Chains A and B, each alone.
Chain A
Amino acid sequence: MKQTARIISTYSADVMGVCSALFELGGMTVMHDASGCNSTYTTHDEPRWYDMDSMVYISGISEIEAIMGDDEKLISDIVDAAAKLKPAFIAIAGTPIPTMTGFDFEAVASVIEHQTGIPSFGFPTTGMNTYIHGASMAFAGIAERFVDDPSEKSSDRGTLQMSARKIMSMVDSCCARPNGIRVNVLGLTPLDFSINGQDESIVQWLEREGFEVVSKWAMGNSLDEIRHSAEADVNLVVSAAGCGAAKVLYERFGTPYAIGVPVGNELPGLLADQIILNVKKFREMDESASEKAPFESRAISVDSGVFLDGSAGEGGSTYEEGFVAVIGEGITSLSLASSIELECGIPAKVLCATECLDGILRECDRMTPDEDDIIPELEGAAYVIADPLYKPIVPESAKFISLPSEAFSGRIYRDEIPDLTADIDQLLINIK
């Protein structure tokens, strides 16, 4: 039956995704919940909880407040706390109970903003979607409210330029030849990238390829740094959590976006080439166009699925037999599957367990939110790459390759989560 899990875990939920996305930005995030969400988030979803004094709270809604629709208690609690703690912004995220009572997130956020003078958001999460949904919503909110519009200041946006200081710094540090393209990295949270330094590895890769990194949403950057995101020429969406912001930044500033995580020995170079090629092309197209192109048409990605043409991989493997199954978040899994196909010569299909952008999965890939969706898709797999908590449902005939994810197993295997951008070989050696 769908919706049941006999033995596997569950992904972090949308409400936690909001908290994770906003964690480092100096705001105050309130989960509108009775109890439980806060300890779950801070124990299992938030490796930064002990080290960073981020303000994440629950409202502690009671039965009587829910029944009576007493929003005033929540508003006054938030206003009181904000007066003392002075957050940069306030975000309220929902859980099942406010969903059921029809809580008006937008209206309450508006009242709070009016009373405090602090920018406030109401994110109507339900606790019934994955963290991707919530994080994407939160990043989109930040993109709407906090990214400065360069046209409102003196700006030279429209040409591909880089500061002299930045150029010198990049040349000195990695001898890369600047390509003049500025990038925001969207969708970084520890739920997908843990705290093992992969966020920094992605930046280093971009700089080695000659890009200038304007901002990274939202690990290791402050809200002030993120305010400058409109200066970028392209957004690199490294998890589906970055989609909401990518869309808003395109709507507001016309910034195209690339999709992919630089993992592997060949894929990152191809991705960089595609970005360089398409950013300039899109800009020229947009400058001559009379109407704005649809968001979907401004996506940049590396074509993959090399075996979809019907040819077989190593040992006669196909997407039905002898293949590699990669279970997890869509963009990371897709990037990993592409690298495997490129470097190991074996078909690799993605079983995407979280929300994903429309149209990025290939013909062979599947959306598999439930245990019963996944099990039949693993029949015939030679290798399964997934979080260790998936192992009990992996057939014995397949070789299991552990790839832990904070979003699925929380802190349990944190020490074993690899930085795939810095080193994929330790993982691929199990297949090659």
Chain B
Amino acid sequence: MLKKVNEKQKRLSADEIPHVRIADAKFPAPFRSGLEYSSPARGTWNIVHTGMLIPEAHEIFVCAAGCLRGVVLTAAEMGTTDRFSTVAVRENNLLDGDMEDLVIEGVTDIINKLPKRPPAVLVYTSCVHHFTGVDLDMIYATLRSRFPDIDFTDCYMNPIMRKSGLTPDQLMRSRLYMLLHERGKNPDAVAIIGNDLPTDEDSDLMQVLKGAGRKVHEITSCKTYAEYQEMAESSVYVSYNPDAAPGGDMLAERLGGTHYALKFSFDYDEIDATFAGLAEVLGIEPRSNDEIAALRAECEKELKETKELIGDTPVSIDYTYCPRPLGLAKLLLEHGINVTRVYVDGIPGGDRAAFDSLQKDHPDLMIYPTVHPGMRFARTANVEAESGVKVLAVGQKAAAFEETGRFVNVVEGGGMTGYEAISRTCRLMREAYCEEKPMRDLVQVKGLGCEVCIR
């Protein structure tokens, strides 16, 4: 069996593991960018998982083998290899300048070999196409003329662009809706867009929409391509994942209707403001003061109960849990919960106010990166884990770094919104505190909440 030749080599002590007091941290980049480490926590979704949300669509990736490897095995672990194909780019293609032909003929070859014609094909090109100036317009025009019965959309696996312009994640979320055909608008239909996980039925957003009698579309509940197309009847598109906002704007511009970017927040006043804005867009009355007071009281009760149960247990939060990790840290600290560490490589723009507040009121809160090369040794240098102190982690990366089975296993906000995000987070923290999970196995599963076959 595995012989641990260099197991637990302590190259760095706990003090040498990169971290910074929040009071000393710079916004938005507390750490210098450099070489990057990859945590074994894998629960966040990638572009394969997200693309598979379009029912019956077929994904074709055109990239070098090294880039294909991760995506093809994502599809295999999902059990969706029948909806996934590849075209390998080789060195001769770079030298010969036949990249357009490779994409067109490769995609054509695959479509002709499929046992059933898909209604839609997502063609993913990559960094090499970007750098060689491939004529994507010509490629898609040719494919559309060859296969007029298939909807094509351009998708991208070009991580080299993650530091300029729209990120690959933002692009992917926008592509999800490019296949929608224009159709008559239904003034009562609303589409929730850009989230990988279904919105909680108990969430504030769903409660507001259902309470107003709206017909709610969401890609996560579409079973067929025809059902997916019905989303285009929506007159309002609501996004609450910040990375979905650019796609929402594109969708409203292309199909008409209004896009509303609901803020994901743990701040009571901000929650009220963003839901009041939604009410205005929907043309309904905002929540009354009494309703708001009841929701706040419920949150206070949950927070108090959580504090009473976990006492001074150290709590760590990471950015994969939700889009506002510092907002969550602030809320918990304000309610006496002992948040000691937040794992985040860059401070999200939406967390600016929480960052400023924490710098002033909780200056000793420690910020840790997740990709800094020194984080390779964070687990082996973890004093709490070694001394048997069990940290309560909120998020997979925090759990992996802290080596704790007491963790909340949720990614990307888990479909929560509004006050419900606070109440549910508290309940999940209490559950996690009371019942340890097999962390090592759970965090290594890709695409948490997605259909996976591996475990």
Contacts and interface: CB of A to CB of B under 8 A. Distances in A.
A16 B66 contact: yes
Interface in A150-205: 195-197, 200
Interface in A49-98: 49-55, 57-64, 66, 77-78, 80-81, 84-86, 95-97
Contact of A57 (B37, B76, B82): B37
B443 to A, nearest CB: 10
- Determine the main DSSP class of B at the interface with A: mixed
B400 to A, nearest CB: 9
A127 B444 CA distance: 24
Interface in B1-20: 1-9, 11-12, 16
A410 B81 CA distance: 14
A159 to B, nearest CB: 31
A4 B38 contact: no
A53 B73 contact: no
B26 to A, nearest CB: 18
A42 interface: yes
A51 B2 contact: yes
B261 to A, nearest CB: 26
Given A6-B110, A81-B373, A409 B64 contact: no
Contacts of A39: 38, 42, 70
Interface string B65-102: 11111101100110001101111111100100000001
Given A39-B38, A61-B160, A95-B66, A4 B91 contact: no
B149 interface: no
B88 A3 contact: yes
Contacts of B183: none
B106 A1 contact: yes
B110 A220 contact: no
A107 interface: no
A95 B113 CA distance: 30
A397 interface: no
Contact of A60 (B35, B132, B374): B35
B34 A80 contact: yes
A368 interface: no
Interface stretch (A7-15, A252-260, A315-323, A342-350): A7-15
A12 B38 contact: no
B29 interface: no
Interface in A403-432: 409-412
A51 B162 contact: no
B440 interface: yes
A63 B159 CA distance: 9
Given A4-B87, A57-B373, A128-B89, A14 B160 contact: no
Contact of B40 (A14, A37, A42, A77): A42
B23 to A, nearest CB: 24
Contact of A30 (B7, B35, B128, B376): B35
A130 B70 CA distance: 14
A141 B9 CA distance: 24
Nearest to A14: B66
Given A6-B85, A6-B114, A96-B127, A412 B444 contact: no
Contact of B377 (A8, A41, A53): A53
Interface residues of B, number: 74
B116 interface: no
B7 A51 contact: yes
A35 interface: yes
A43 B64 contact: no
A333 interface: no
B164 interface: yes
B8 A53 contact: yes
A353 to B, nearest CB: 11
B307 interface: no
A202 to B, nearest CB: 14
Contacts of A97: 127-128, 131, 160
A34 B162 contact: yes
B170 to A, nearest CB: 14
Interface string B366-378: 0000010110110
B66 A35 contact: no
Nearest to B33: A60
Interface in B90-138: 90-91, 94, 102, 105-106, 109-110, 113-114, 126-128, 131-132
B81 A84 contact: no
A409 B75 CA distance: 11
Contacts of B308: none
Nearest to A370: B88
Interface in A84-123: 84-86, 95-97, 99-101
A51 B7 CA distance: 7
A222 B5 contact: yes
Contacts of B84: 7
Nearest to B77: A412
A38 interface: yes
Given A4-B106, A10-B65, A36-B70, A59 B35 contact: yes
B332 interface: no
A320 B6 CA distance: 49
B97 to A, nearest CB: 12
Nearest to B161: A63
Contacts of B110: 4, 6
Contacts of A196: 1
B86 A10 contact: yes
Contacts of A200: 3
B362 interface: no
Contacts of B68: 10
Interface string A1-35: 10111111111111110000000101000100111
A129 interface: yes
A9 B76 contact: yes
Nearest to B87: A4
Nearest to B371: A60
Nearest to A414: B454
B241 interface: no
B69 A45 contact: yes
Nearest to B35: A57
A64 B109 CA distance: 35
A199 B272 CA distance: 61
Given A7-B82, A84-B16, A53 B380 contact: yes
Q: Which of B6, B9, B35, B114 has most A Cβ within 10 Å?
A: B35
Contacts of A54: 6
B446 interface: yes
B157 interface: yes
A418 to B, nearest CB: 14
Contacts of B5: 24, 52, 220-222
Nearest to B85: A6
Contacts of B431: none
B64 A127 contact: yes
B67 A36 contact: yes
Nearest to B88: A3
A98 to B, nearest CB: 11
Contact of B66 (A15, A85, A409): A15
Q: Which of B3, B68, B126 has most A Cβ within 10 Å?
A: B3
A9 B131 contact: no
A3 B377 contact: no
B91 A126 contact: yes
B36 interface: yes
A3 B92 CA distance: 12
Interface of B: 1-9, 11-12, 16, 33-38, 40, 42, 63-70, 72-73, 76-77, 81-82, 84-91, 94, 102, 105-106, 109-110, 113-114, 126-128, 131-132, 157-164, 371, 373-374, 376-377, 380, 440, 444, 446, 453-454
Given A3-B106, A12-B69, A13-B65, 5 more contacts: A4-B87, A38-B36, A39-B42, A64-B164, A66-B131
6 contacts: A13-B69, A50-B40, A53-B380, A55-B373, A57-B373, A64-B163
The 8 closest A-B pairs by CB, nearest first: A127-B66, A40-B70, A13-B66, A35-B159, A1-B109, A34-B160, A57-B35, A77-B34
